[in-house]
Structure 1
């Protein structure tokens, strides 16, 4: 034991603050959330909380008419915003990797949306989407694309494209940065050899660059999915989950039940279900895209 402590004790001592932090601020809240989900616990109720077992879960899954719509909204939010971010980030990374003038400046400006606070970005885009004085309506009217103003954040059809566009604008710099790091590490000799052999730009991208970037795309996509699932500030700042529950996702539904209605039992059940659902999505993602990365 003395030898073991002498060999590894200092390393464990250095890890101790991190372990204590994870236990105190990660594991304990997680276990407490699962425990509270088994109780009827409302801060507005006069009596003590009572054990109800799985009643909160059954009520959400079978009686709550809004739950499954909100679950669909969550999938749309996560998968839609992640796909749109990649759609913007891949060409952006290729452009910023090429030898363009003032490349360093453009790379720096590209990071502005990512490092800006989410709430500030949400307020700015809310002004842009304003149905009466917003810049989007103004310029689309000037270009004769619309005849009358659109209430972007209150329209049943246009509200989700508006939200996904904002989320993509906020999140694509992170993916672009990761792809840029991958492009920097690629062998230029292989790409130049393909060019000498007659491969055009599209063939070099699809047959050489993209396969070599698969590990980075895989990890970045996984991080983006988890981050999009747990982040709801953008939706809360733009629509508050409305109108009604039209743009609510599970985190906003959790926030509403826990900190608006003060129903901590049902809010904890929503949080637990949300955790399980994102775990299922991650497992499916790993099974589908985690193979043949080498």
Structure 2
């Protein structure tokens, strides 16, 4: 005896009706009209960013060289295999990590202090905020030339000032000393990138609800307690974002260090970007230089993934 199948249940009052694929795309804003409106933004990104990136990645697997009349050939992982044993490149990579981590950390600490100060209701606050943006308005090449004059061993204002204060007896070669060149360049990097970090953190501080800080003050919380319990949790997403971006920007620095030292003395400030530049345009090894860029992308991606995962777990916990 066959039993009739029960009729399908009617959708409940709170159960949404099933959507078709077209309806789901329309809800997500992925219909044809939206894609058409996105084309003016997508085309420049594809042509100016994604296209050159993919071309550079493809070069890493070829033997492309400058001035060759023979066609470029596919060599697979040969460039990456050679890169594994290139001690000079990995030394420059170590210097690049020291530079990027040092500049990023110092920028954050100083910018946070400056942003907290500029967030106070002080007289001439507008003027101080304007002055804080001055280094940001200067091109990196101009910044490098200016600081080369400041650090000049014989005519630099830094040695002149320290000498008049009787802090040094002989002029110091800030950019020619093996032990001082990298710290001197790091100081310039911090100075040049401080304004953008300060502006971002200041914007985050101004979005912290005043009522929360006032309530914490009424509960007897001091300045440090109010910062750790109210201000820091509110600006933590901003801190994560600007720290990650600063690390990428600093690790990929080129023009500032190139103008200051060109990687010297003795390779002590040769960042990986400078090393790749020399390999490509001084020695004509385009394929090998592209492999260096691919290695830098991979390692930085791993570092950033670990950093962001840890930060996001801390935020969620």
Q: Which residue of 2 aligns with 1:113?
A: 135
The answer as to 2:242 corresponding to 1:220 is yes
Give the C-alpha shift of residue 199 in structure 1. Answer: 2.2
| 1:264 maps to 2:274 | no
Distance 1:147 1:87 in 2: 32
In structure 1, what is the Cα distance between the partners aligned to 2:87 and 2:22?
A: 61
Q: How far apart are the structure 2 equivalents of 1:187 and 1:17?
A: 38
Q: How many residue pairs end up in the alignment?
A: 293
8 Å CA contact 2:181, 2:265 repeated in 1: no
Q: Equivalents in 1 of 2:40, 2:216: separation in Å?
A: 51
Superposition deviation, residue 2 in structure 1? 10
Give the 3-state SS of the residue equivalent to 1:66 in structure 2.
Answer: helix
**Whole-Å separation in 1 of the counterparts to 2:109 and 2:213:** 22
Alignment match of 2:308 (pick from 282, 286, 293)? 286
**Aligned mates of 1:267, 1:61 — CA distance in 2:** 13
- Could you tell me which residue of structure 2 aligns to residue 29 of structure 1? 52
Contact residue 66 and residue 245 of structure 1 kept, 8 A: no
After TM superposition, where is structure 1 displaced by more than 6 Å over at least 4 residues in a row? 1-5
Instruction: Give the CA RMSD over aligned residues.
Output: 2.1
| 3-state SS of 2:270 partner | coil
Change (3 A) 1:204 1:2: closer
1:91 corresponding residue in structure 2: 113
The reply on whether 1:198 has 2:195 as its aligned counterpart is: no
1:173 offset after TM fit, Å? 1.0
Q: Is the 8 A contact 2:178 2:266 kept in 1?
A: no
1:8 is matched with 31
Q: How does 1:170-189 map to 2 (within 5 A)?
A: 170-189=192-211
- CA shift digits 1:229-264 (9 cap, x unpaired): 223111111011112322111111111111222211
Return the offset for 1:293.
Answer: 2.8
Secondary structure at 1:291 match in 2: helix
**Which residue in 2 is equivalent to 1:58?**
81
Q: Does 2:149 correspond to 1:127?
A: yes
Decide which of 248, 257, 279 is 1:235's aligned counterpart: 257
Flag structure 1 segments of 5+ consecutive residues without an equivalent. Answer: none
**How far 1:145 moved relative to its partner?**
1.8
Aligned equivalents of 2:229, 2:161: Cα separation in 1: 40
Instruction: Name the SS of the counterpart of 2:315 in structure 1.
Output: coil
**Distance apart, 1:188 and its partner CA:** 1.4
Structure-to-structure mapping, 1:139-150, within 5 angstroms: 139-150=161-172
2:63 is aligned to 40
Q: Tell whether 2:307 aligns with 1:276.
A: no
* Distance in structure 2 (CA, Å) of the matches to 1:236 and 1:195: 49
Q: Which moved more, 1:40-49 or 1:168-177?
A: 40-49
Query: Would you tell me which structure has more helix in proportion to its own residues?
Result: 1
User: In structure 2, how many angstroms separate the alpha carbons of the residues matched to 1:245 and 1:45?
Assistant: 29
The C-alpha deviation readout for 1:19-70, integer Å capped at 9, x for no partner, is: 22222222222222122112222113443333322221121211x2211111
Instruction: Mark the structure with the bigger radius of gyration.
Output: 2
CA distance in 2, matches of 1:293, 1:114: 31
Q: Report the Cα distance in structure 1 between the residues aligned to 2:208 and 2:62, rounded to whole angstroms.
A: 54
